[in-house]
Chains A and B, each alone.
Chain A
Amino acid sequence: MRLAINNGRVIDPSQNLDGIANIYVIRGRIAAIGNTPPKGFSADQEIDATGKWVLPGLVDLQARLGDPGSNYAGNIATETKAAVSGGITSLCCPPDTSPVNDTQAVTELIQRRARQAATAFVMPIGALTQGLQGELLSGMYSLQQAGCVALSQANQPIQNALTMKNALEYAVSHDVVVMLRCEDQRIKNKGVAHSGPVSSRLGLPAIPPSAETTALARDLILVEEAGIRAHFSQLSCARSVEMIRDAKKRGLPVTCDVAIHQLHLTEMDVLGFNSLFHVSPPLRSQQDREALLQGLKEGIIDAVVSDHTPLEKDDKALPFGESRPGISGLETLLPLLLKLVFENGLDLSTAVRAVTQNPAAILQRNIGSLESGNSADLCIVDPEAIWTLEKERMLSEGKNSPFVGWEFVGKVEQTYFQGRPVYRDNPV
């Protein structure tokens, strides 16, 4: 199968590429980018991408796929379909599955189901501790052998500093990337919303920024002491951005990401007790939101993730504090990122880099790039399409999006995975 995608604006930060070009695909791999086809190339199929953008398939470092287990809505088949409809072709699934991904068997099961679905590249993240309990180390080497691309604690950070220290020191020999979410559960206490004017007024139990920053400070010191490469997940506070900035200045091999909703929403959205705005870490102040966006613009924040958490209707049909935190985010990662480009002065190549080249580099994989030889994972975006997110049209089994009803500019029209079409938008 030979495919030519002609005359699109190809934006690939990994090659510093932004210009009109043709992409030639042979047997699922990128053969060349340019104006002339490789020698002897004759296309079986040609796509006219005039006026469209062609991006590498997006890489999402954090997306729950609901598989295995029933603790989230959906499964690998449904959620990868939702992913590719948003231009995402590679995703990491955190270990908070049921059972927890702390054994080879679970890792292999996830990979098998992903191969069957054959819609996107699914990269399992193994648990750092057994059962994510934060007490006993998991079989890190075995998990890595089975195909885990990273180790993490999902949303259950290790509380015991000694266990954390040991986990990092043990992991360092295996050259595996450790992804850490920082949260001191004791400071968090029973909190459900940012400690600010809104939680003061609504009487919602508060989570102060120190729940994140004290844990981040501890982990930065332990990471430095262990000499391990670490990635910090889903930062929410202005102060955290400063701490990562300092750590990078000191030369520590650290990277970090932010969930896309943190760049659009704030504590003010919690007024009215709408449980769709219940997320962990919580939506914070306007000042935090601005600092996170600034951190992304300056490259302190390396990646942007969906933090996709597909939930059942009943999980959210509860009073705010009793509802489960999380947003179904795969379908809005790119649209929300483009909104920052169009409305908040985010540079387009920085935006694309944060969901392609950078997360790929964190994982040390040849993805998120249209370099020749790579798997032909790409999406074609109509940059002028104006559309509104509708619940009924979401492909994810989790309809828990606070962005329903938002208007977006720029829509994924087609997505290719390994050179095969896996998504095509049907214009009405």
Chain B
Amino acid sequence: MSARLTAPNLQLNELGKIKHFLTIEGLKQHHLLEILDTAESFINPKTNEIKKVPILRGKTIMNLFFEPSTRTRTTFEIAEKRLSADVASLDIATSATKKGESLLDTLWNLQAMQADMFVIRHAESGAAHFFAEHVAPHVHVMNAGDGQHAHPTQAMLDMFTIRKHKGDIFDLKVAIVGDVLHSRVVRSQIQALSILEAREIRVIGPKTLMPTHPEAMGVHYYDDIEEGLRDVDVIIMVRLQNERMKSALIPSEKEFFKLFGLTPKRLALAKPDAIVMHPGPINRGVEIDSEVADGPQSVILQQVTYGIAVRMAIMSIIMSNAAQLAQHQSEQAALELENEEEEA
């Protein structure tokens, strides 16, 4: 019997600081708080504007999108430019790998173009881990979504949004409604909420859209939205994809809305000051009623703005950790040299 019960923590360096940002799983509360606090520092408290800073001047960041995306890719690009990095974005779904070049050859080629960081979106769960295992030691990997596994930057911006409105995540009751099974965002949100010690995390939806073992994720499952929403502080709605109807997981959008759609009446079951979130793009009348989406409790559009600050925070932390590690290593080397000289 092999003894590997936990995944090796690929994303931390030898000082225990973030090196790659692949998943929320395995990070400590202080890692997440550092990200949230740093993101805060990028936003002008009066104007809500995000200023341009020279933190990553001279660094090259490549956005590798093996799966199409507009919003995530755009917010990453903006975040990188506000940090003054040199940016190249590649839509790989339609280029290299189609010509039969292997995935690793593509990666190594791009690495040879002096990349310091790769931002990767890929349709396979575990793809970001795969890249992180194969890049050169000085190159960093950020996961912009891998299959159904993780979307950690999105989860962090959701935590940022919750904290903005609630002051703290600690002790909150959070309900996540919809397609949990296929959602990388939800997996990362659940992990972040647990690490930040939310009091209770509930997942709500039809059994066909739930993972087989929700308890392994540390959540409580409800198949009745009215029961699940009672007294919660935060409601996170998940986008329903069209393919779910085609693969016979649910009958129709109409029936889904009847059973799980967020209506004003259902929203009233949550705490009066509960906030409503949605990673977008929203399907009005499928998972959420327009009246709720545009209502006073909705924070959907703010999430997008915060996304830029949070991604800036993570990228700058990774780069400053690398600088710190390099300094630590050169100090160690100097110390060893000193000791040797003393011995001599």
Give the tally of cross-chain contacts (CB within 8 A).
93
User: Which of A197, A264, A314, A320 makes the CB contact (< 8 A) with B125?
Assistant: A320
Instruction: Tell whether A203 pairs with B130 under 8 Å between CB atoms, given A208-B212, A319-B125.
Output: no
Interface residues in B130-161 by Cβ distance below 8 A to A read: 130, 134, 146-150
**Residue among B7, B124, B146, B187 with most chain A CB within 10 A:** B124
Q: Does A195 have its Cβ within 8 Å of any Cβ on chain B?
A: yes
User: Which of A200, A271, A317, A319 makes the CB contact (< 8 A) with B4?
Assistant: A271
Q: Is the CB of B1 within 8 A of A201?
A: no
CB-CB < 8 A to B15: which residues of A? none
Give min CB distance, B213 to chain A, whole Å: 4
Name the residue on A nearest B131 (C-beta): A319
Instruction: Tell whether A269 pairs with B4 under 8 Å between CB atoms, given A201-B187, A205-B148, A321-B126.
Output: yes
Instruction: Tell whether A272 pairs with B7 under 8 Å between CB atoms, given A319-B122, A319-B130, A321-B124.
Output: yes
Task: Compute how far the CA of A402 lies from the CA of B2 in the bound complex, rounded to whole angstroms.
Answer: 10
Q: Does A100 have its Cβ within 8 Å of any Cβ on chain B?
A: no
Interface residues in B97-146 by Cβ distance below 8 A to A read: 102-104, 122, 124-127, 129-130, 134, 146
Instruction: Tell whether A319 pairs with B126 under 8 Å between CB atoms, given A202-B149, A269-B2.
Output: yes
User: Which of A195, A204, A265, A266 makes the CB contact (< 8 A) with B126?
Assistant: A204
Task: Compute how far the CA of A251 lies from the CA of B277 in the bound complex, rounded to whole angstroms.
Answer: 60
Instruction: Tell whether A203 pairs with B187 under 8 Å between CB atoms, given A271-B7, A322-B124.
Output: yes
Q: Does B344 have its Cβ within 8 Å of any Cβ on chain A?
A: no
Q: Is the CB of A272 within 8 A of B4?
A: yes
Task: Compute how far the CA of A266 lies from the CA of B104 in the bound complex, rounded to whole angstroms.
Answer: 28
Q: Does A222 have its Cβ within 8 Å of any Cβ on chain B?
A: no
CB-CB < 8 A to A26: which residues of B? none
CB-CB < 8 A to B212: which residues of A? 195-196, 199-200, 206, 208
CB-CB < 8 A to B213: which residues of A? 196-197, 200
| Main SS at interface, chain A | loop
Q: Is the CB of B102 within 8 A of A314?
A: yes
- Against B, the Cβ 8 Å flags (1 = close, 0 = not) of A187-214 are 0010000011111111111101000000
Q: Is the CB of B130 within 8 A of A273?
A: yes
Indicate the size class of the contact surface on chain A.
Answer: 20 to 34
CB-CB < 8 A to A402: which residues of B? 2
Task: Compute how far the CA of A205 lies from the CA of B249 in the bound complex, rounded to whole angstroms.
Answer: 14
Name the residue on A nearest B2 (C-beta): A269
Q: Is the CB of B216 within 8 A of A319?
A: no
Give min CB distance, A213 to chain B, whole Å: 15
Q: Does B311 have its Cβ within 8 Å of any Cβ on chain A?
A: no
Q: Is the CB of A273 within 8 A of B4?
A: no
Task: Compute how far the CA of A321 lies from the CA of B124 in the bound complex, rounded to whole angstroms.
Answer: 6
Name the residue on A nearest B150 (C-beta): A203
**Residue among A202, A203, A322 with most chain B CB within 10 A:** A203
Give min CB distance, A290 to chain B, whole Å: 11
Q: Does A268 have its Cβ within 8 Å of any Cβ on chain B?
A: yes
Q: Does A318 have its Cβ within 8 Å of any Cβ on chain B?
A: yes
Q: Is the CB of A201 within 8 A of B148?
A: no
Q: Is the CB of B216 within 8 A of A200?
A: yes
- Against A, the Cβ 8 Å flags (1 = close, 0 = not) of B1-19 are 1101111100000000000
CB-CB < 8 A to A406: which residues of B? 2
CB-CB < 8 A to B130: which residues of A? 273, 275, 318-320
Q: Is the CB of B2 within 8 A of A204?
A: no
Give min CB distance, A393 to chain B, whole Å: 20
Q: Does B82 have its Cβ within 8 Å of any Cβ on chain A?
A: no
Q: Is the CB of A320 within 8 A of B126?
A: yes
CB-CB < 8 A to B214: which residues of A? 200
CB-CB < 8 A to B102: which residues of A? 314, 317
Give min CB distance, B17 to chain A, whole Å: 21
Q: Does B223 have its Cβ within 8 Å of any Cβ on chain A?
A: no
Give min CB distance, B126 to chain A, whole Å: 3
Q: Does B264 have its Cβ within 8 Å of any Cβ on chain A?
A: no
Q: What are 13 sample pairs from A and B whose C-beta atoms fall under 8 A apart?
A: A200-B217, A202-B125, A203-B125, A204-B125, A204-B149, A205-B125, A268-B2, A268-B4, A273-B7, A314-B102, A317-B104, A320-B124, A320-B130
Q: Which 5 A-B pairs have the closest CB atoms?
A: A197-B216, A273-B126, A203-B148, A200-B211, A203-B149
A residues lining the B interface (CB < 8 Å): 189, 195-206, 208, 264-266, 268-269, 271-273, 275, 314, 317-322, 402, 406
